[in-house]
Amino acid sequence: MEDLPDNIDPCGENGEFHSFMFDGPVFQRQVNVEVGQIFERDTQFYADLLLTDENDCLPTPNLNYQQIPPVK
């Protein structure tokens, strides 16, 4: 924490950190990605996420959304 620059909020309140969900109980399968190009724009850093399996972008036929349990 001491190594963070002064303009970085360690809690990410200024948008320093973002999440990408690639697997979990509501997923039928894991979404496989690899980190692509990392670049800086307007003092912010971004990383492209690239699908490693082209089938991950296909819709799941006959997905019954009623099977997904509500979040409690």
In a domain, 65, yes or no: no
Tell whether 46 is covered by a domain. yes
Segments forming the whole domain that contains residue 49: 22-56
d(CA 69, CA 41): 39
What tokens were used for 57?
Answer: 């972008």
pTM of the entire structure? Answer: 0.50
Q: How many domains does one find in the chain?
A: 1
Q: What is the pLDDT of residues 34-64, one digit of tens each?
A: 999 998 888 778 888 888 876 666 566 555 5
Which residues, other chains included, contact 41 with Cβ-Cβ below 8 Å and sequence gap of 6+?
Answer: none
Q: Is the pLDDT of residue 14 over 80?
A: no
- Say whether pLDDT at 15 is over 70: yes
Tell me, yes or no, whether 43 lies in a domain.
yes
Model pLDDT, residue 18: 78
Q: Is residue 32 part of a domain?
A: yes
Q: Is residue 45 part of a domain?
A: yes
pLDDT tier at 66, thresholds 50, 70, 90 = low
Assess if residue 42 is contained within a domain.
Answer: yes
- Let me know if residue 7 belongs to a domain: no
Question: Does 44 map to a domain?
Answer: yes
